[in-house]
Amino acid sequence: MKIKEFDTVRLRDGRVGSVMDVEGDQAEFVVDVGSSPKDWETLYDVKPEDIIEVIESNPE
């Protein structure tokens, strides 16, 4: 599965987030999760195996 910057993804733990950065050749991702500024969290070093599906793909 090809994951791109700004894709919306579902993580293995059930949370949904937006990919903010793709590191290397899809080796790691930076993903923002949460539904509002009160609970936003940035996850660093997200591995491809931590992402179970792309919910919405960035059309770019």
Q: Is residue 50 part of a domain?
A: yes
- In this structure, what are the phi and psi dihedrals at residue 9, rounded to the nearest 5 degrees? -130, 155
Domain count along the chain: 1
pLDDT digit string, tens, across residues 3-60: 999 999 999 999 999 999 999 999 999 999 998 888 899 999 999 999 999 999 988 7
Host domain of residue 39 = 8-56
CA nearest neighbour of 34 among 18, 19, 45: 18
d(CA 47, CA 34): 19
- In this structure, what are the phi and psi dihedrals at residue 49, rounded to the nearest 5 degrees? -70, -15
d(CA 42, CA 22): 13
pTM of the complete model = 0.89
Q: Is residue 18 part of a domain?
A: yes
d(CA 5, CA 38): 23
